[in-house]
Amino acid sequence: MQKKILIVEDDIHISKIIKMNLNLVNYVTTEVYDGLAALEAVKQEKFDLILLDVMIPLLDGFALMEKIQPYRIPVIFLTAKNSVYDKVGGLNLGADDYMVKPFEGIELLARIETVLRRYGKEEHMIKFRNIQIDLDKREVTQQGEPVELTPKEYELIVVLLKNKNIALSREQFIDKVWGGDYYGETRTVDMHIKSVRKKLQLQDHIKTIYKIGYRLED
C-alpha cells in the first residue's frame, strides 16, 4: 500500500520539490497552498501524514493544527522560524516533528519514515524487481530463494531501497547503517556495496555516482 501524504506549503517551488522527493520513493502526494484548502483536503480524503508549513495564507499552520487534531493524522511542521518558542509551541499542539528550512530531501524522508513507524504505518515488505525484503523478519529473498546477508549488508540494501533513485554519499551511508558514532573509513561503504551488488546481482542497478556516492535505480 502506498502512503498518502498531504503537502501544505504556499511556496510553489518548495511544494514541488518536496513532491518530487516523495514521489521518488513511491509516496502518493497531494499539494495544497493555503490553510483552508488543507482543511478541506483533510475532510475529503484520508492521509497518512501531513507536511505542514507554519506561515501559510488564510489559516496558519498552528491554527490548522488545532482544527485537524480530531483526525489524528501525523503532522510534521515545516518552518522557517527556528526559535525554541515556536518549536515547543508546534510540538505542544500535537505535531510529531518539525523541520527547519532549509532542509534536504533525504532528511525529510528519514523523518517521515520515523513518524510513520511511530504510528505503526511503516512498510513490512519492500519489493524491488525480483528481490523481496521482509522487514519484520529481516529476511531477504530473491526469486523466492533466501539470500544470506551480513547485518550491515542487510541495513545497506534497506537504506538503498528506501531512498530509491536518490544518490547517497558515503557519509550518509555510514550515518544510516553504522550509526553516527562510527569513525571508520568510508572505504568500508565501498566494500559493502560491492558485496551487496554481487550477492543480489544488482551490478546494473546500484550505480556509482561521480563525486557523490551510490544510487539504486529502477
Partner 1 sequence: MKFWQKIYLFSFLVFVIIFNAASIMVIERSHNKMLGQEINNVLSQNMSIHSSVDAIVPILRIYDSIDYEKTVLTSIANEFVAKNSDEHVYMEITNDTNQMIFSNTDFTMPTHREELDNLDIDEINYILRDIDQHTILFTSNITNINNKRYVFTYMKDVTPLYQDRLDQYGFFVRVDLAACFLYMLIMLFVSRGLTKPINQLNRTAQVIAQGGFSERVRLKSKDEIGVLARNFNDMASVVENTINELERHNQEKQRFINNFTHELKTPLTSIIGYTNFLRTTKYNEERFLDGLNIIYSEGKRLESLSFKLMDLIMLQEDHFQMEEHDMGAVIAEIEPALEMMAKEKQVLIITDCEEGKLQLDKDLIKILIFNLVDNALKASAEQQSIMLRTYWRDGRYILEVIDQGIGISKEHGDKIFEPFYMADKARTRSYNGAGLGLSICQSVASIHNAVIEVGSKENQGTTIGVIFDQIGPKGGMNS
* Rounded-to-integer distance, Cα 215 and Cα 206, Å: 6
Cis bond upstream, residue 57 (ω within 30): no
Alpha carbon distance, N-terminus to C-terminus of the chain: 19
Residues from 42 through 81 that contact partner 1 (CB under 8 A) = 55, 57, 80-81
- Phi/psi of residue 81, each to 5°? -75, 140
How big is the site for partner 1, counted in residues (CB under 8 A)? 30
Using rule CB under 8 A, residue 18 touches partner 1: yes
Tell which positions 146-205 bind partner 1, by CB under 8 A.
165-168
| Region binding partner 1 by CB under 8 A among candidate stretches 87-95, 100-108, 118-126, 183-191 | 100-108
For residue 102, the minimal CB distance to partner 1 (Å) is 4
Task: Give 101 or 121: the residue with its C-beta nearer to partner 1.
Answer: 101
Asked if 21 touches partner 1 (CB under 8 A), the answer is yes
User: DSSP letters of 122-183?
Assistant: --SEEEETTEEEETTTTEEEETTEE----HHHHHHHHHHHHTTT--EEHHHHIIIII-TT--
Task: Rule CB under 8 A: say whether 24 interacts with partner 1.
Answer: yes
What is the H or E stretch that residue 216 is in?
strand 213-216
Q: If binding is defined by CB under 8 A, does position 89 make contact with partner 1?
A: no
Q: Which parts of 111-130 interact with partner 1 (CB under 8 A)?
A: none
Which chain residues interact with partner 1 by CB under 8 A? 10-11, 13-14, 16-18, 20-21, 24, 33, 55, 57, 80-82, 101-106, 165-168, 209, 212, 215, 217
